[in-house]
Amino acid sequence: MRYRCLVFDHDDTVVNSTATIHHPCFQAYLALRRPGMVCTLEDYFIKNFDPGFLAMCREDYGLSDEELLEETRFWQDYVCSHIPEVYPGIREIMQRQKAAGGLVCVVSHSFDYNIRRDYEQNALPEPDAVFGWELPPEQRKPMAYPLEEIMRRFSLRPEELLMIDDLKPGYDMARACGVDFAAVGWANDIAPIERFMRDNCRYYFKTVQELTAFLEG
């Protein structure tokens, strides 16, 4: 094992979900509450990258706190009937990590129960810990709590973890904890996101195969 614990983001890192589920869901919600307003897939990726989904909803679409709660319920209902597919090669990375006695954890902005369902439906190993959207805001990434709690729970040092994520909140969390960060870019080809990740992250992998080679090397 190169790292005792691999910490995976979920959406667009493990499963192909933004293009197939989350963006269409948000467009459907806008059609109900903001008729005529459009969020392109590229804008959705960019704004989720920075400043984040909640800031995008408030600043770009004027959603109130009440509407944000409604949008969350709308999203939950939509996600319950749509299961994303795992990216080829991810299952094998996780299986090798677990077979070697290592840990696989998840830190995501999806809910715990949706993450576990996706793992089960895609025949992925059961994660050792999941930190999702159900946590209070001060315990969600980019806050340091998820990684700090993983290290506390499993008696790990920062250098024994690798955070694998496609967006800036994961990078910010890993940097705050002194944890190695692997930026991944197989979900999209958006130049400003890739440029930031390449310029600021120690590792950047455009394909799952590149990540596999790094972990095996």
Q: What share of the chain has pLDDT > 90, as a percent?
A: 96
Per residue in 68-119, pLDDT (tens digit) is: 999 999 999 999 999 999 999 999 999 999 999 999 999 999 999 999 999 9
Query: Does residue 109 contact residue 53 with C-beta atoms inside 8 Å?
Result: yes
Confidence (pLDDT) at 150: 98
Mean pLDDT estimate for the chain = 96
Confidence (pLDDT) at 155: 98
Using a cut of 0.75, tell me whether the model's pTM lies above it: yes
Query: Does residue 186 contact residue 208 with C-beta atoms inside 8 Å?
Result: yes
What mean pLDDT is predicted for residues 32-53?
A: 93
CATH of domain 5-16+86-216: 3.40.50.1000
